[in-house]
Structure 1
């Protein structure tokens, strides 16, 4: 039965699905299981945030969705089809901007179109539009060394969005930024998401960031990771930075922090 047939029959196929996903790695000390039989689904256009302790397989999950690693068992599916090779209708933003230092901001963004052999003129027009949307209009000809860390990450975001992918995966993209820059780029990302409604899987160590950006937050347990808790974010959009001082926001952040305390990931000093 095809995805369209299932939807017509009333059993809608999830846009993205992790089905009993397990990933193990061989090490000198033996086999280490990073993620164990994890299952969850995403709707098209959903913004999902994942928070969890270091080493619990968050990045591994993203790489599996991108088709850059394969599960030890279980499946990752997009629109009902298993991801068995690199998935091209997807953009990735890494922890570091990973810009080529000999290319300008515009040239770094256009690298995506060159790899895909897309028409040059249309790609340049879209790249210029994206750079302007994230506040980098006028910086097209600047090299990475001439840009701040936040500006470099904005270039990386534009590069990931250039081919207009349906899915955007982001692996702790703002973790190295200062607090003010991080606030601004969160606002930029929220605006871009609201305009384009990509399906986003966003990994972060910041509970506040997860609640501010996401429709839904998954809390991962320590390795081998599984889903310890799931929270819907009830905040209306667009969300101003002032929303972080509201009761709904602070209560939800407190609930998520409480899960980490129960898991033993957060402990009070001396206990």
Structure 2
């Protein structure tokens, strides 16, 4: 509006798309299948900016799945839009973006947005000549990034390593909190402290307990939680259902200290 660019709302804008009125259609994070009758109204077709190195991570949440999977790189792709299916079109441009071991999802989202915006400008400036450069996706390399479900937020202590939990925490940061249970109470993990790997020696008595076992560490005010392969994470803040966000010390004082010392303390 500030630049007096005409706006067209979907799907009512379909009636405004007369053949030849616009040269090319561009969509970003659109989320709707576009039928052939609309694509054909653009002489140069339609292109989409997707936040992954297609064909890796086709789908609705490529950034989240890239971090959660522990990928060391991702990127942006400009692809031709095809009717009836998402993210299957031929690729015009791609640019890689490295994924730092500790980057959180919002920061990676911002990095990809900046790279993607420049790539869109490059595409428009090189039209229509660049449209001779499309290459097909390799269907043997396809992976999928479906919408985020509540199940994806659940920590499975028996099968997840500390690194896997940390990656999932980074991937969902700012969007969803990791979830677990403590004595039938729903718990949300708000903040995790992590530096590479926290690994216990097999001689450590804590390592003999079940995965999900917890103990308070007074030295740095964290809750140590045992994971698969003798690894552990340190939880700094968490939220018990019906309560405000609390520190590890507050959780220790309000819940753990009230239990018998012989009782097993663990997240489920």
The answer to whether the superposition gives a TM-score over 0.5 is no
Name the larger-Rg structure: 2
TM-score in terms of structure 2 length: 0.25
TM-score in terms of structure 1 length: 0.25
Higher relative contact order (CA 8 A, sep 6+): 1
Give the helix-richer structure, 1 or 2.
1
